[in-house]
Chains A and B, each alone.
Chain A
């Protein structure tokens, strides 16, 4: 199989604090991981693509300094939302891709609420 986990599944934080979301590929090595944001009843919005050991590539309009991505190993990528504000409240989903394979496998998502 190709299982991707995310932690936490749900987080509530206060405005101004930082939140870290972990994405792990449990049974395969992910050379590429993707981070998406999804608003209610809307499609996935790609935020950034990260390859293990190198800097993430951010999509236009996504603030690099606000959404810090670290792909430290072939099984772990983290997204840190720094100085979170209520408008950052959203459903964040990661996905992972095996080398040489074209499918993406998604994590279960993390619901972030900033109060």
Chain B
């Protein structure tokens, strides 16, 4: 079993839709949770960073962490064509350097 599971998609939604992206994980010791956005042929860009459980909101983006279910989500409200990208979740333990990445979900927002 992989440490982090993420549905690769592809996911296609109309402009203005609410997008829900998810990852599950197996290691209950993960404490730090991140979402990255990667445009084609570019490096990943940090979108959201959450420590432990709870929600975090930044503009149209909301990150949720449910540690009891080992499940994290990224919601995108009022999705725009410019949101079309691959979204990667990442997790980290409290110690050490290693980050655990999901495989990424490819999102296309259709105008």
Binding site for B on A (CB under 8 A): 4, 6, 32, 34, 41-44, 46, 49, 91, 93, 95, 97, 102-109, 111
Contact = CB atoms under 8 A, between A and B. Distances in A.
A103 B103 contact: no
A24 B42 CA distance: 16
A32 B99 CA distance: 12
Interface of B: 32, 34, 36, 41-46, 49, 51, 88, 90, 92, 97-99, 101-104, 106
Contacts of A97: 97
A103 B88 contact: no
Given A102-B32, A106-B36, A109-B42, A43 B97 contact: no
Contacts, number: 49
Contacts of B36: 106
Task: Summarize A's interface: helix, strand, loop or mixed.
Answer: strand
B102 A109 contact: no
Contacts of A41: 106
| Ranked 9 nearest A-B pairs via Cβ | A106-B43, A43-B103, A102-B32, A109-B43, A108-B43, A106-B44, A93-B43, A43-B104, A107-B43
A109 B40 CA distance: 11
